[in-house]
Amino acid sequence: MKVMRSLGALVLLTQLLAAHASDDPATGLADSAALRATVFGTPPEDVAPLPALVPLDEIDIALPWARPLPAVLWFDRRLRVWFSAQGKPAPLAIVISGTGSDGNTEKLSLLRAALYGAGYHVLTLPSPTNPGFIAAASSTGVAGDLMQDSRDLYAAAQQIVTHLPKKIRITEVDVLGYSLGGAHAAVLKSIDAVEQRLKIRRAVMINPPVSLFTSMQRLDELFALSIGTDEQGIDAFYRRLYARLANFYRLSDQVRIEDTNLLAAVAATLRTDTDFSAAIALTFRIALMNVFYTGDLYAGTGVVTDPRHPPRPGDPTAEVVQRLLSKPFSEYFDQVFAPYYLAHRSGATRASLVAESRLDIIGDALRTEPDYYAQTNADDLILDRTELDWLRTTLAGRIAVYDHGGHLGNLGERQQIADMLDMLAGRWAGAAR
């Protein structure tokens, strides 16, 4: 029984890793404050007022267009999403998770609480780059194409909304997302503008990337700078953190590692900017490993899995994990993503694939439609100066740029939440503040 208890601690640690994995950050040129904000998030003292109770349902849904399920992903047959219902007719907020993440991260929980408190039904969805989504809801199995992933997401959202119990009355639909999910949210609205199936009213992007690929390449750069490109670098980082954690517990008289102090202890082992950069880069790499593995499996590209002998659930994966750990995004693009899309999309070139994963694909809508909004930070790790300027120019008066917060480091903070709710309600006073 004690085993189950200690599992709780483990899970928190895994969630901590997953939470950061979702943050797809970083340039390596970021300052210390931005790195710390990115790792630690909003201090609890600065969190916006939240409601006392938020009801929560977990919804599992099988989607008819999903591709045949590989044996090793047996647990991902149905898409899992989370829903909080108001007891009365209310607008629905659809919230999309960041890179690699499922639909119930801590960040989503924070947004859910704020939105529920403001009177919305809240539906939180995994990122199309989450392996659960790739297996259950992707029509390709190969994640990373902004438009295709958003189309799958749009279809999934429709199915879910259609199946909701009849007693749930939805007055309007708004969509928002953080990090990569922010880009998905905006593209979702642009798809809906044509198809009109959800009748999405407004979209808010929170710390979105401008170019998925350049953001990811910066993360690889950060990985190389803070950890290295070989096994030894990964090993050294692990040993450094392990020794610090072990010494922390030797000094404290607490011998059992409990849920609550484990989080603090892990965070306390990160000290230098290199540590913070490494933690951000590594947790992102873990998200990429899942995308790489599932993509390779579905596309049959044979990089780490053998298409003629598909892996079985009992097979050891340690070797695959080791190989994937040192594979950057560029290898995913070259060996899985590009081969798949060049074969399946007529007229596509490598350059067009890169171009199509930029927010420019909906640039006109962002420029001219009044219902797209964004929030970001001047020191967000995933944007360079040109990209931030592009967002500012494109969205004109519909973007709030805060001075500090790194990547998502101020999510849930009073001003961020207040502005977000104002934007969703169409009453945001603009960048005048």
Residues numbered 313-342 forming contacts with another protein, rule: CB under 8 A: 313-314, 316-318, 321
**Residue 418 in contact with another protein, rule: CB under 8 A:** no
Beta-carbon neighbour count of residue 199 at 10 Å?
Answer: 11
Helix (H) or strand (E) holding 312: none
* Tokens linked to 405: 């917060």
Residue partners of 264: CB distance under 8 A and separation at least 6: none
- Cβ proximity to another protein: between 293 and 390 the closer is 293
CB 145 within 8 A of CB 180: no
Minimum CB separation of residue 132 from another protein in Å reads 3
* Residue list 3-22, contact with another protein (CB under 8 A): 3-14, 18
Pick the binder of another protein from 240, 327, 345, 404 (CB under 8 A).
Answer: 240
* Tokens linked to 423: 């934007």
Side-chain-side CA neighbours of 381 within 13 Å: the count stands at 35
Measured in whole angstroms, the distance separating CA 302 from the mean position of its chain's CA atoms is 26
* Residue list 194-233, contact with another protein (CB under 8 A): none
**Residue 347 in contact with another protein, rule: CB under 8 A:** no
Q: For residue 253, what is the DSSP state?
A: S
Minimum CB separation of residue 299 from another protein in Å reads 15
Quick note: the x/- pattern for another protein over 40-69, rule CB under 8 A, is ---xxx-x-xxxxxxxxxxxxxx-------
**Residue 29 in contact with another protein, rule: CB under 8 A:** no
Stretch that binds another protein, among 96-104, 174-182, 353-361, 397-405 (CB under 8 A): 96-104
Minimum CB separation of residue 383 from another protein in Å reads 26
Give the N- to C-terminal CA distance of the chain in Å, as an integer.
54
Minimum CB separation of residue 137 from another protein in Å reads 11
Minimum CB separation of residue 327 from another protein in Å reads 14
**What are the DSSP calls for 80-144, one per residue?**
EEEEE--SSSEEEEEEE--TT--TT-HHHHHHHHHHHHTT-EEEEE--TTSHHHHHHH-SSS---
Beta-carbon neighbour count of residue 423 at 10 Å?
Answer: 25
Quick note: the x/- pattern for another protein over 147-176, rule CB under 8 A, is ----------------x-x-----------
Q: Alpha-carbon distance 163 to 432, whole Å? A: 42
**Residue 191 in contact with another protein, rule: CB under 8 A:** no
Q: Alpha-carbon distance 273 to 59, whole Å? A: 40
**Residue 432 in contact with another protein, rule: CB under 8 A:** no
Stretch that binds another protein, among 141-149, 150-158, 235-243, 400-408 (CB under 8 A): 235-243
**Residue 258 in contact with another protein, rule: CB under 8 A:** yes
Burial class (CB in 10 A: 0-12, 13-18, 19+), 411: buried
**Residue 290 in contact with another protein, rule: CB under 8 A:** yes
**Residue 24 in contact with another protein, rule: CB under 8 A:** no
Residue type for 135, please? A
* Residue list 102-121, contact with another protein (CB under 8 A): 102, 104, 109-110, 112-113
**Residue 309 in contact with another protein, rule: CB under 8 A:** no
Pick the binder of another protein from 166, 167, 250, 308 (CB under 8 A).
Answer: 250
